[in-house]
Structure 1
Amino acid sequence: MALLERVGTLLRANINDLIEKAEDPEKLARQLVLDMENQLLQVKTQVAIAIADQHLLQKKLKEHEETMNQWTRKAELAVQKQQDDLARAALQRSLSNQQLAVAFAEQLENQRVETEILRNAFDRLQQKLHETRSTCEMLIAQHRRSRTMGKANASRTVTAAHQRSTALNRLRSTIQRNEADNIASRMMLETDSLEDRLGALEREDQIERLLEDLKSRQPRLT
């Protein structure tokens, strides 16, 4: 049966591999569950039909067995009445129903086997569906967690890069400030040295003037 072949394919499917290799795991997981639910519904319908057919065959078998027994009793009655022709006709009917009963018995046995196969398929597919739902929920959660962690890692990478950039900018600013301070300090030192030299010249000039003044006040030697 095509239905049982489809069910067999679903039962043999490795759900983990299918979902892990899918481009969109969540979409595939939902599709797998939906397919199994649809197949399970079809199998359930076929099981109900098979059971109904089995009951019908049982009913037909019982009817032909009862009819066969009725004609057998009529043949016995005809024999008791020494009505051989009627007995033969009754036995013919009895034999015909016996053959039909045998045919229905064979069909009934085949139907019982088919019904059992469908029931087993239904039970296995129902269990597979339960396992698939659980597996899909777990894998979807893992997939979402992986995506979230990936985004978080990317965010941390950007943040770290930004922090490194900020730290480098702070370091660059510090170096620039230090360089400016050093330049200012050198300028101040150079300014102080210039003032000192000019001051020394002024003092020397003052001393020279004082010396000349002293000399000018000394009596001249004759």
Structure 2
Amino acid sequence: MGILSRTSYVIRSKINSFLDRTEDPTQTLDYSYEQMRDQLQQVKRGIADLTTQKKRLEMQKRRLEDNVEKHNGQARTAVQQGREDLARRALEKKKAKMNQIEELDRQISDLQSQQDSLIDQKDELQARIEEFRTKKETMKARYQAAEASSQVSEAMTATGDEFEDVGRAIERAEERTQDMEARAAALDELHESGAFDDVLSDKDSIDRELESLSTDSGVDAELETLKAEVGGEGTEAEADVEPEAEDLETEVSDADVEAELAELQEEEDT
């Protein structure tokens, strides 16, 4: 598995884990971006470590090359002095150093290949991160705009519901007001008609009607008495002048009444 694949796998795992802990996508995007940057830094540190190892091998190679030159010079000097044995030993050391140099060349070449590959992957990862950053900022802007729009819509919806509640409250208040006005008018009408007095009394309608007739009779009788008194005061002088004629008229009237009563009684008996 390449380093980019491992990095992508790690990032996806951490993103999924993070998604389980948060519901804000903007935070998720920021978190993902920071994780990718951390992975990029790890890749850069890996390249730096690899380059350091390569430089160490290159320094070691240069020391071996210096030793090769040194042994070569020793062999020449030994030959000039007739010391073939020393010359042989110097050449043997030279050969060993050259073999080490060849091994170092292979290692350096391998490290250089890895370094070039890591640099290419680092550049690709960095390009992806920059692309992700652009998308992240775009998505965050879209999300924030959508969130603001949603909040406005929710506010408008809530306002509509509140207005609807207010409308229903006004209707209920108007109905209750109309009921109270009708009740007040009814109470006034009952009060004017005397219905409240009837309610407080234990008399039925017949008792109340007879009582009214009795009251009217009493009033009429008293009225007649007053008229008689007033009329009597005006005719008092005439009564003194002709008393006999008035008495005679009274007696005649009484006799007529008695006769009529007798006739009525006979009719009832037959």
TM-score normalized with structure 2 length: 0.53
Separation of aligned partners in 2, 1:110 and 1:145 = 52
Separation of aligned partners in 2, 1:166 and 1:148 = 26
- Shift in Å, 1:145: 1.7
User: Relative to structure 1, is the Cα distance of residues 120 and 2 closer, same or farther in structure 2, using a 3 angstrom cutoff?
Assistant: closer
User: Relative to structure 1, is the Cα distance of residues 35 and 96 closer, same or farther in structure 2, using a 3 angstrom cutoff?
Assistant: same
The 8 Å contact of residues 36 and 129 in structure 2, kept in 1 or not, is answered as yes
User: Relative to structure 1, is the Cα distance of residues 121 and 136 closer, same or farther in structure 2, using a 3 angstrom cutoff?
Assistant: same
- CA displacement, residues 20-45 of structure 1 (integer Å, 9 cap, x when unaligned): xx843122112211211221222222
In structure 1, the gaps of 5 or more residues are: 181-222
The 8 Å contact of residues 71 and 90 in structure 1, kept in 2 or not, is answered as yes
1:46-125 alignment, distance < 5 Å? 46-125=46-125
Separation of aligned partners in 1, 2:81 and 2:74 = 10
1:135-174 alignment, distance < 5 Å? 135-163=135-163
User: Relative to structure 1, is the Cα distance of residues 150 and 4 closer, same or farther in structure 2, using a 3 angstrom cutoff?
Assistant: closer
Which one has the largest radius of gyration? 2
User: Relative to structure 1, is the Cα distance of residues 5 and 158 closer, same or farther in structure 2, using a 3 angstrom cutoff?
Assistant: closer
User: Relative to structure 1, is the Cα distance of residues 167 and 12 closer, same or farther in structure 2, using a 3 angstrom cutoff?
Assistant: closer
1:129-208 alignment, distance < 5 Å? 129-163=129-163
- Shift in Å, 1:85: 1.1
Please tell me the residue identity of whatever aligns with 1:36. M
User: Relative to structure 1, is the Cα distance of residues 113 and 5 closer, same or farther in structure 2, using a 3 angstrom cutoff?
Assistant: same
Please tell me the residue identity of whatever aligns with 1:150. S
SS of residue paired to 2:82 = coil
The 8 Å contact of residues 7 and 125 in structure 1, kept in 2 or not, is answered as no
Partner of 1:213: none
- Shift in Å, 1:169: 7.5
Please tell me the residue identity of whatever aligns with 1:76. R
Separation of aligned partners in 2, 1:96 and 1:64 = 9
For these two proteins, the number of residue pairs brought into alignment is 178
Provide the alpha-carbon RMSD of the alignment. Answer: 3.7
The 8 Å contact of residues 11 and 32 in structure 2, kept in 1 or not, is answered as no
The 8 Å contact of residues 7 and 121 in structure 1, kept in 2 or not, is answered as no
TM-score normalized with structure 1 length: 0.63
Please tell me the residue identity of whatever aligns with 2:125. L
Task: Name the structure, 1 or 2, with higher relative contact order (CA <8 Å, separation 6+).
Answer: 1
In structure 2, the gaps of 5 or more residues are: 183-270
- Shift in Å, 1:83: 2.1
- Shift in Å, 1:90: 0.9
Please tell me the residue identity of whatever aligns with 2:64. H
The 8 Å contact of residues 11 and 35 in structure 2, kept in 1 or not, is answered as no
- Shift in Å, 1:3: 5.3
